[in-house]
Every structure is written in C-alpha cells, then in structure tokens.
Structure 1
Amino acid sequence: MKKRLHSLFHFLYVGVICCISLSAFASTDEDLTFLMSLSLEQLGDVEIESASFRSEKQSEAPATAIVITEQQIKDRGYEFFEDLLRDIPGFDLVQVNGTYRSVFSQRGTFSGENNRSLILIDGIVESNMLEGSLLHGGQYSLHNVKKVEIIYGPASALYGANAFGGIISITTNHDSQEDYIDYHYGQGTFSSRYHKLQINKKISDVKVHISAHTYDTDGVTFENRGENYSNSYVHNAYSLEARVSTNAWLWGYSRYNRPSGLGTFSNVSGFEQTGTEPPGPGLLQSDFNNEKPSLWHMVSETAFVKYKQKISDRLTFSSKLFTRKSSIALDSYSYNYIPSTAQLERNSFGHESDTTGAEIRLDYTPNGDWDFVGGVQWERSDIERGYRTKFADGTDITSDGVRFNRISQVSREDRISDVYKNIALFGQFRKHLKFSIPTRLLLGARYDYNNQYGRDFNYGETFNPRLGLVSELSPSTTMKFLYGTAYRAPTSFDRFTTTEVRRANPDLSPERLTTVEMGVNHRWSDNIYIEANIYRNNISNTIISNVDTGIPIPNNTAVNFSENQNAGEGHSTGAEFRLNAVFNNFDIFMNGTWQRASQDNQYGTTNAWPNIAEFKANGGVTWRYNQDVSLYIVENWVGKRSTSLTSPLSEVDAYA
C-alpha cells in the first residue's frame, strides 16, 4: 500500500504541471485560431530542415523525426534539456546530478559522456570540444526555443563527425515578428530558483532578439555518500544569447556558464571528514575548508554569422562563419583522499579549446522532379590534450581537524594542445521516381579529411553514404526505407589522457555505425497520427578504455600499461511506436520503445549494453483553456536495465 501511495504521489507531484505564461502580445481573440492550428504542428505536418538541409514535412522527411514546438514546451512545462528527452521515444537517461545533469543516449548507443548525438543550436554545433560531449545542466534553458527537431539514426552524411545516433537541432526565437518582453521566475525543491528573460524588437527589416536566464540549486542529497552530501549543486549558472537578423543575414552570440559539483558522475567512493569511510581512496562529498567539495566550471561561447540569398528561382546560396570556445574554467577543483598519506589533496584542473569554421552551400531546384544541395566545409581546431592538472606543492594545511595538501592552481602557461584541420565535401540528391506508388529517392554522401598539424595524419579520411526511399502508399500513409552510416571521431581526451598506469594512444580510429531502418506513418482522420519504426544498428571500432597492452610499467613488472583501443563492437535492434491525437482544446500522446543492445569487448565477451532499458513507455494529456493557460499530466515507465561493470549495482529495477 505504501509503495502504491508513493507512486501516486510521484505521479501527481512530478507529472502534473500547470503552466501559466504571461505574454505581452497574447489576446483572447487569438485563442480559437491558436487551438485550431495545433493539429498541424502535432500530427506530423510541421516543416523541418534538419533531415536533408531543406524544408519538408516531418512525415515525408527521409528520416525518423520528431518536432517539439514552442507551444508544446510551454504547455508541458519543459524547463531544461532532459525534461524534453524524457517524453521522447528511443532515449535512455541516467541522472548524474553533477558533471552532467544527465547522461543520455539515442537508440542504444550509450557512451556515458553524451558524445554520440550531435547537438545544434541555430545550426551551430554545441559541445565540449575536448570530449565531444554536451555538458548540459542548468545553463541550457528552453524558454527562448521556437522548436526542437530530433532526427533519429546516423547523420554523418549531412553533419560529419559525431552525428552518430542522431541529431538534436534547436532553433531559437530569433525570427519572431512580434515586439515583446517576456519574464519568468520560478522556485522549486532543493532551493532551486531561476530567472528567465526574453526581449524581442523589430525595427523595419531588422529583428533583434536577446534572451538570458540564471539558475541555482543546492541539488539532490545522496545520503548514501554521506549525511552532509553537498556535491550536486549548481550555483550561478547562466545563459546569454543575442541574435540580430534581416531577410538574408543572421548574426549570433551565445555564452553558457555552469559552475557545479562533480555529483555522482564518478563511481569512486565518498570520503567524510570523520575518516571512517572509505578505507580506500575517495572523493570528498561535503563542504570543507569553507568551500564546496568540488567545482566543475563549464563555459561555452559561440559567435557566428549566416547568410542566405536566393540567386534565382532555381538556385539558393547560403554560407556561415563561426567560432567556438569551450572550457572547464581554471578555478575548477576536487578534494581526493589519499590512504597512503591519510590526508586529502585539493586537485585543481581545467582545459580550454577553440574551433573556427566556415561553410558554403548551394541548393539547386530546376523543377519539381529533382533537386540537389551540396557544399564544402572547413574547420580549424586547437584542442587541449586532456585536463590541465597540478601536483602537490608540499604545503600541508589543517582544516576542520583534517590534514590536506593544497595543489597549485593551474595556469594558461601549462597548456599543451594540438591543432587540427577538417575539410569536408557533401551533397544530397532527391528525385521523384515514376513508380505506380509515388516515391522519392534520396542519395547523399559526405567526405571528410581530418589532419593534425605536425603529423602526417590524424585519422585521415572518412566517407559516409546515405540512402532513403519515401513512398506515399496513400494520401494518409507514408512508408520509409532508410540506410545510413556515421562516425564518432576519437577526441583529444580519448587519445591523450594518461594516468600512472594508462598511456596515451594517439592512433585511435573513428567509431563507426551502420543503420538499416524501416518506418510507416499514418494519419487516421484529421485528429490522429500514428508512427512505427524498426531499426538495426551495427557499431564497430568502439573505443574501449584501459585495455591491457602487455607492456610492463617500469619498476613495476607485476602491472602492465593500459590504453584506450578500438577493441569493441556493438549491436542494437529496436522498435518505436508513437501516437498523437488532437481534439479541439486537448491532445494526447503515447510512446513505446523496445530495444535490445549488446556489446563485445576485446576478450570476445558479449554483454548487455549498460544503461539501456529493453522496454520504455510514456503517455501524456494536455488540456488548454487558451493560449496562456494549460494543464499537463504525464507518466513515464522505464523497464529494468543493466549498469556498467564498475557500478556497485548490477542492474536497476523498473520504475515509473
């Protein structure tokens, strides 16, 4: 009975969201038109661009795609990135509450570091360049988002490296035609609070959009890591985004800042000031020496300019120039307990990397029978080798009755980096085939050449083809057959991070993915949309950590060096189902996912891919009073899943 009451409380407390949004430009007269337009957005007819570099209906795109609109974000109360992903089929999430707010994977491609799906914000990649991962958390808000396009399956034929399990393309509200000021304030559990602001102004043909938000929380308390646990905080996180656009130009600047604790990302045991646990090494998990137990200070900054011009009725030219910086700020640190000295060490670390790039694209549409888009992309990246660290300086300090050794602060003079260049050629060809069933063919490919300055090659050349067939079985039913490949580039962290027993391996090759997929979508009346997909993923060259090299460590013949190697393979098979139904002022959705994923290691052993649930399902109902007031009820169910071999728990039971 107690378990049932807890489940009911969870459903009511977490699943029921009442969103009241005050907008300076809404009016009651618009409500009827607004409600009637929702069916187009939620039943597969919304236009997307991420699937083939051109605008097309979601239901007809040569990819499995889901679009979450601005109104759905408001109605469902999505505040942050993972709030949205929980309601999407085919995604697995593991809450970390630290270095990453959560670790997610798409279609059974879990890696533990958010580096197998590519994230784009207004068409520009957003990631930590050292690891190729999204260190998301309180710094990424959805309050200024127009829509989110989620493309499933490999997309390296379009986007190159790291478009592995799929892409998530976020479009901000920079193109709004309205003048408005929109402000939100919120509070929640664990002393969480945020401020969100949008300002939009149109002056003649120039549109100016500025958005900002701040976020703070003390974070979840994990008492199993110490009764005074305080390592999942986020303090003074913020985002600042500015966009200026005209008919042909878009200028953009973004900065994301998130100081947080390490949280539970590491499986290393915690250490409390009492000294009673653990007997071995561990990370401090509670406040000490008048500061938090750790600080992981992520900063990301981007500036770009995009230009698009229709040269003729048949030809459109577009280009973009961008520069990106990502870092773990140099004030980052952690406290580690060293059993051999029976004291703590305050380790400081950081890294800084940057990328500059340009792209030119031509879109040629001679008639309604076929079209082609192609282009060239160039990037130059200066990537630091791993995390910059400092070793003990011999200064012993006693605080709260505990001895610790302060490590010197890292500095920019300690930075060691490598410079890479990447040149890519890409093209996408579409043609209507004259079959008895109307069918559109898509052929696409991308060639990338990656080179490290000072070396003959990095990983050299990659070629990724793509094939799609989209057939209109009837005016309301579409079938898709899709084939694609992708690669994840070995990062500087993969290649150069070392420890006392692990050596660098600069000769790592890209991980490779091949996918075959078939899907059917059907519009059942004007109110109900159903979609089902099946797929098979084959992953090769998987990078495995800490593989024994057989080479003894000097002065320690009992232990061999280890290194990262392309020694693994993986396979996943899955099916997804979703249903959307819209009726006047309310809509319903249901999603279901089945997937079975396994991986082979360097010893030929096959295990279930960790953190991938075989079954998942969710459903929700949104009721709208008008454009500004709505009620959202949702429930998610996640089946049993295994965990990584380093976890003290071999599996996690099903939960809702």
Structure 2
Amino acid sequence: MVRKLVSVAITCCFVGSVVAEADIKNLLEMDLDEILKVNVATGTSNAISEAPSIVSVITQEDIKAMGATTLAEAVEQIPGLHVSNSVNRLTSLFGIRGIRNNNTPNVLVLIDGVNIAEITALSVPYAFRYPVNFIKRIELIRGPGSAVYGADAFSGVINIITQSPSDLAGTSAGVNVGSFEYSEAWINSQFSVDDLSVALSITRQRKGNDSERVTQYGVLQRDGEFDNIHVNATYHELTFNGWYWRSEQEMGSGAGIIGNDIDRDISETISAQLRWVTDIDKFTRFETDASYTNHKLDGLFQLFPEGTWPVGDDGNLFLPPLLL
C-alpha cells in the first residue's frame, strides 16, 4: 500500500508600517526579542504580551533544562496540553484543553511556519518523533487558531522554529543512549561560502521494544529507526528551509499483525520553503514565499497470515474467549 501527497503553496504580502514613537515600549523589547516576540498567533511578529491568544514559548534553554529528546517530551510540560500515543502506529497525539481523538486533526503542527500535516494521519507523519537538537524555540497556541490557520487549528497550533545559520557557530555533535535499546546521534554544522550561509543538522534515532509492555496480543511492537535532516540557508534577501524525515517502524499491536513478519511502516516527508524579504523603504516591506511538501507512506503487512487465526465456515474470524 502506497499513499502519496504533494502540496505546493505560494503567498505574497505587501505591508506598510509606521515607526513606533513609544521609546519605553521599544526599550522593554530590546535584547528579549527572540524570547518575547512570537509569530504563531497572527502570522506576524508580535510581543507575546500583545498576542491575541494564549501563547506559550519553549526556548532552547528550556529544552536542555528539562532533558527532553523529542518534541512530544518538550511540549507535554505545558499546562493544558497532554501528549499520548495513538493505537494507530504509536503516533504522538496532542490534546489541548481536553480536546483529543485518535489522529489529532484539531492541532496544527508547523515547522518554520510550514504545515507538515499528512493527509492519511490527519496531523503529523506516522511515527513522528521530531528530535530537539536543532530547535531554536517552540511557539504554542492553546486554544482556537483557525482565524489565521484554518480548520486544522481548531484547538491549537504548535510551531517549531529551527535554527538559522546565524544561530550556529562551527560544528557540534552528540550521542544519547537510554533504556529499551534507545540511541541517538546528531550533528549540527554551520558554514559559509561567500554570501551564502548554511546551517545543516542530521539526527538518527533508534528505539527497541519494551518486553514489559504486554497487550492481549503479545509484547507491544514499537522498535523503529528515524532520520531527520535540516538544511537552512540564507543568501542576501533569500531564505531557504529544507526538511527531510524518514521513519521505519513496527506498526504496534493488534490481532491482525500477530505472526506477521513483514509488518512495517516506512514513512518519508520532504518539505521546502523559499522566502524573499526586502525593505522598499524604512516604512514598507515586501515579502513573498513558496512552499513544497511531499509525503510518502509504504505500509507493509499481511492481514491475518495463514495459520495464525482460525476462520469459521461462515468466513468470520474466530477468536478465543480471552481475546474477545
């Protein structure tokens, strides 16, 4: 089974602005610009105190302090937001203010402002375990954001902002290991060629099964491998953000996959955004951007392999009483 989605979006805006004369307001925003200004509430930069929504910001320093290794671990610290695992391929579910279901179509997840929703999963790619090594900050709306972002933002928005070339210096790398055969290796690097500046991030994760998590159908199958690559570049007034995600994992649990040796999900996502921003004069700025997203999912499985479950004369599956 192969499912594929390609989407392309192009937007333009022409904005006129007047220089503020309130010196005290400018003074209060100095040096705290990256922390106090958010884009997620209105799509434009605003002081967090002026955002017309309940907005939370998780900085890079916050993520390091809490020891989170994935997006789900980072955002579950926010009051009013609950993270759980879906029975459908163990994808992370984000519930905000008690609103949740099996696919989280009501929470919009963005990377650098680009929607990464996968149409068959309704929210994020299957087995989405976004690493935190390249995150600059996370902005969250707790509450409806549909006026700006459409129906997918019914209960909230999560915007992941990655690091630009100016946020990195040189090269850094790290390795993490943990229980259940968990391992992670990552590298972030920044380099320049003339006026072109590039930030590159590569992360590879692996996780194994938990023999103590036993369902009525056996041990919960959760092992998988995950690759995450980012390329962010700037050239004069042009900005490029590219993202590649690949996961290969067991489908989880259930009667249909018992005895099945090929039940694997292979999910791939490619996302790119090219943006041009230029100041026409000190009062006016012109912005335009184009984005591209491609999702591909290969589901490899055999439903009820021969000899695994008995089938009655009427063609219906027979289950022992303990599994009913």
> For the Cα contact (< 8 Å) 1:41–1:69, is it kept in 2?
no
The corresponding residue for 2:234 is: 245
The yes-or-no answer on 1:223 pairing with 2:214 is yes
Match for residue 399 of structure 1?
A: none
Residue aligning to 2:24 = none
257, 261, 268: which one aligns with 1:299: 268
Match of 2:249 in 1: 260
- Counterparts of residues 419-434 of structure 1 (less than 5 Å): none
2: CA distance between counterparts of 1:327 and 1:95? 21
Q: Distance in 1 between matches of 2:64 and 2:195?
A: 28
Describe the SS at the equivalent of 1:162. Answer: helix
Q: 1:49 aligns with which of 39, 57, 60?
A: 39
State the alpha-carbon separation in 1 of the partners of residues 66 and 279 from structure 2. Answer: 38
> What is the CA–CA distance in structure 2 between the aligned matches of 1:200 and 1:97, rounded to whole Å?
39
Distance 1:100 1:343 in 2: 27
- Provide the TM-score with structure 2 as the length reference: 0.78
Partner of 1:121: 111
Amino acid at match of 1:255: Y
Q: Which residue of 1 aligns with 2:164?
A: 174
Indicate the SS of the match to 1:238: strand
Once residues 62 and 271 of structure 2 are traced to their aligned partners in structure 1, the CA distance between those partners, rounded to angstroms, is 27
Alignment partners' CA distance in 1, 2:258 and 2:281: 62
1:218: Cα distance to partner? Answer: 1.1
Match of 2:186 in 1: 196
Once residues 301 and 126 of structure 2 are traced to their aligned partners in structure 1, the CA distance between those partners, rounded to angstroms, is 20
Alpha-carbon spacing, 1:307–1:333, altered in 2? closer, same or farther (3 Å): same
| Structure 1 CA distance for aligned equivalents of residues 307 and 104 of structure 2 | 34
| SS of aligned partner of 2:152 | coil
- Structure 1 residue 94, shift from structure 2 partner: 2.1
* 1:333 has 2:297 as partner: no
**Mapped partners of 2:186, 2:59: distance in 1:** 19
Matched position secondary structure for 2:65: helix
Secondary structure in 2 matching 1:142: coil
Q: Secondary structure at the match of 1:258?
A: strand
Structure 1 residues 224 and 152 mapped into 2: Cα distance closer, same or farther (>3 Å)? closer
- Correspondence list, 1:336-485, <5 A: 336-337=303-304, 343-344=307-308
Structure with greater proportional strand content: 1
Q: 1:54 & 1:313 partners in 2: Cα distance?
A: 18
Secondary structure at 1:323 match in 2: strand
Deviation for aligned residue 1:142: 1.0
Contact 1:99 1:263 in 2 (8 A): yes
Higher relative contact order (CA 8 A, sep 6+): 2
Partner Cα distance (2:166, 2:97) in 1:
34
Q: CA, structure 1 residues 138+220, in 2 after alignment: closer, same or farther (shift >3 Å)?
A: farther
Structure 2 CA distance for partners of 1:90 and 1:309, relative to 1, 3 Å: same
**What residue in structure 1 maps to residue 139 of structure 2?**
149
Shift of 1:299: 1.2
Q: Residues of 2 paired with 1:203 and 1:178: CA distance? A: 15
Deviation at 1:186, TM superposition (A): 1.1
Report if the CA contact (8 A) 2:168-2:199 is conserved: no
User: What is the CA–CA distance in structure 2 between the aligned matches of 1:204 and 1:161, rounded to whole Å?
Assistant: 43
Q: Is the 8 A contact 1:45 1:59 kept in 2?
A: no
| Counterpart-to-counterpart distance in 2, 1:310 and 1:155 | 29
SS in 1 for 2:215: helix
Distance (Å, rounded) in 1 between the aligned partners of 2:183 and 2:73: 16
How much has 1:199 moved relative to structure 2?
A: 0.6
Q: Which amino acid aligns with 1:224?
A: T
Alpha-carbon contact 2:267-2:297 (below 8 Å) kept: yes
Q: Does 1:184 align with 2:174?
A: yes
Partner in structure 1 of residue 13 of structure 2:
none
Q: Structure 2 unaligned runs (5+)?
A: 1-30, 311-322
Inter-partner Cα distance in structure 2 for 1:223 and 1:195: 29
TM-aligned CA deviation for residue 175 of structure 1: 4.1
TM (norm. structure 1) is 0.40
Q: Does 1:133 align with 2:133?
A: no
SS at match of 2:271: strand
2:182 counterpart letter in structure 1 = S
- TM-superposition CA deviations, 1:384-408 (whole Å, max 9, x none): xxxxxxxxxxxxxxxxxx9xxxxxx
Q: For 1:97 and 1:75, how far apart are their aligned partners in 2?
A: 30
**How far apart are the structure 1 equivalents of 2:264 and 2:238?**
39
* Identity fraction in percent: 19
Q: Deviations over 1:558-606 (max 9, x none)?
A: xxxxxxxxxxxxxxxxxxxxxxxxxxxxxxxxxxxxxxxxxxxxxxxxx
- Between 1:213-222 and 1:110-119, the stretch displaced more is 213-222
- Does structure 2 conserve the Cα–Cα contact (< 8 Å) formed by 1:179 and 1:202? no
Question: Which residue pairs with 1:318 in the alignment?
Answer: 287
Is the Cα–Cα contact under 8 Å of residues 81 and 136 in structure 1 kept in the other structure? no
Q: CA deviation at 1:81?
A: 1.4
